[in-house]
């Protein structure tokens, strides 16, 4: 467990502060993933149990991806852009989970700026600046939902927390997704210990796995076929890059969430150390990086205006797909890999 310089509060202190107020707004990041939604909803369940009025804001106007719609409470989430209740914002504590900067809050940043009571961040993304009044950031935590799980113990006690299976399911989903089903480098002892507690409290690993990983749309699998057929292997197979166009998406009736598993397919090739999947969004290109060795793809993503974790990062480039592909391929040609692959 290590905390970053932007941390200025402990989880018990944050729990103590939250108990003082009746209204809480919980926000996550743009392109919400399993950890973002799982963390938001896990905290919402804990605060509901304390009788608080809680609103979870979505930093997107798009519907939650099909694989995460099973999360208990997701149907009550409100798109931030449609949440114009200024009085509600001004009297609520604003809590950001799994998101370190106002930019990553997207349309929910307005609520951060309007928050008049108290702002709080609980996160595992290290950034140079503190965004909230009270901030707890632990980049060693495999998921933000693990931190929310710990926070819930401070709010409810271990026994109170263990009586809320919906909270456990949300926290467990964040942990499963941010560790790539307990396969990534961040799957450590603390993560398994937290997972064991969540399962003891009612999270059902097989159900979560079926919902998240065995419920893909046909369009998603068809997109995968296209991505694989176009894939370019660079650096003697150590780098895999592929892309899908808007036209592909429209033709297959695919939504953004359908494209999310694709980068993992590139990464699954034995020789590949770094995978990059690009998706054309019309005036810009969205990119996802994954690293299988100690290459810091967050640093590379930052060069393109993005960020993330060392082994999983993303960016958005104001370019066409060909320009983006050229720029990324050129940058990946320059990565120095520690030793040659066999």
* Chain positions contacting ligand 5GP, by CB under 6 A: 31, 33, 104, 125, 288, 306-309, 312-316
Distance CA 173, CA 176 (A): 5
CB of 277 to ligand 5GP, least distance (A): 8
Distance CA 141, CA 122 (A): 11
CB of 143 to Mn ion, least distance (A): 5
98 binds Mn ion (CB under 5 A): yes
Q: Across the chain, how many H-helices and E-strands are there? A: 15, 12
Pairing of strands 239-244, 232-234: antiparallel
Radius of gyration of the chain (CA): 20
Identify which range of 35-43, 157-165, 217-225, 269-277 contacts Mn ion by CB under 5 A: 35-43
Smaller CB distance to ligand 5GP: residue 235 or 309? 309
When binding is defined by CB under 5 A, the residue of 14, 15, 35, 104 that contacts Mn ion is 35
Smaller CB distance to ligand 5GP: residue 72 or 308? 308
Q: What's the Cα-to-Cα distance from 261 to each of 70, 205, 226, rounded to whole Å?
A: 18, 19, 13
Smaller CB distance to ligand 5GP: residue 162 or 285? 285
Q: What's the Cα-to-Cα distance from 9 to each of 104, 121, 136, 166, 323, rounded to whole Å?
A: 22, 10, 6, 27, 44
The answer to whether the CB of 331 falls within 8 A of the CB of 267 is no
The SS3 of residue 165 is helix
The SS3 of residue 115 is coil
150 binds Mn ion (CB under 5 A): no
Mark residues 172-201: x for contact with Mn ion by CB under 5 A, - for none: ------x-----------------------
Distance CA 201, CA 55 (A): 24
- Residue 144 binding: pick among Mn ion, ligand 5GP, none (C-beta 5-8 Å cut-off by kind): Mn ion
Smaller CB distance to ligand 5GP: residue 136 or 315? 315
224 binds Mn ion (CB under 5 A): no
Distance CA 151, CA 174 (A): 15
119 binds Mn ion (CB under 5 A): no
Smaller CB distance to ligand 5GP: residue 107 or 308? 308
CB of 190 to ligand 5GP, least distance (A): 18
Smaller CB distance to Mn ion: residue 177 or 245? 177
Question: Which residues would be at the binding site for Mn ion (CB under 5 A)?
Answer: 35, 98, 144, 178
């Amino acid at each position: 467990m290590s905390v970053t310089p932007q941390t200025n509060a402990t989880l018990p202190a944050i729990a103590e502060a939250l108990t003082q107020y009746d209204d809480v707004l919980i926000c996550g990041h743009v392109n919400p993933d399993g950890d973002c939604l799982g963390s938001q909803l896990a905290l919402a369940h804990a605060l509901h149990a304390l009788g608080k009025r809680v609103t979870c804001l979505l930093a997107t106007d798009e519907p939650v991806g099909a694989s995460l719609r099973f999360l208990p409470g997701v149907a009550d989430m409100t798109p931030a852009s449609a949440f114009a209740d200024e009085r509600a914002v001004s009297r609520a504590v604003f809590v950001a989970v799994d998101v370190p900067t106002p930019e990553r809050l997207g349309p929910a940043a307005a609520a951060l700026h309007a928050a008049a009571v108290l702002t709080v961040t609980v996160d595992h993304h290290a950034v140079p600046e503190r965004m909230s009044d009270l901030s707890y950031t632990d980049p060693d935590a495999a998921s933000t939902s693990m931190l929310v799980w710990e926070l819930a113990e401070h709010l409810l006690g271990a026994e109170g927390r263990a009586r809320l299976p919906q909270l456990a399911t949300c926290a467990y989903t964040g942990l499963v997704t941010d560790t790539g089903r307990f396969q990534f480098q961040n799957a450590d002892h603390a993560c398994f210990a937290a997972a064991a507690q969540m399962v003891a409290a009612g999270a059902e690993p097989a159900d979560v796995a079926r919902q998240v990983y065995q419920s893909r749309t046909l369009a998603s699998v068809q997109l995968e076929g296209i991505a694989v057929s176009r894939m370019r292997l660079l650096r003697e197979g150590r780098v895999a890059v592929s892309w899908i166009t808007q036209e592909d998406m429209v033709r297959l009736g695919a939504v953004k969430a359908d494209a999310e598993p694709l980068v993992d397919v590139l990464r699954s090739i034995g020789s590949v150390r770094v995978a990059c999947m690009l998706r054309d969004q019309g005036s810009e290109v969205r990119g996802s990086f994954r690293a299988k060795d100690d290459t810091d793809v967050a640093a590379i993503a930052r060069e393109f205006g993005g960020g993330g974790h060392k082994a999983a990062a993303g960016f958005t480039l104001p370019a066409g797909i060909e320009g983006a592909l050229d720029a990324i391929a050129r940058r990946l040609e320059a990565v120095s890999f520690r030793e040659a692959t066999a």
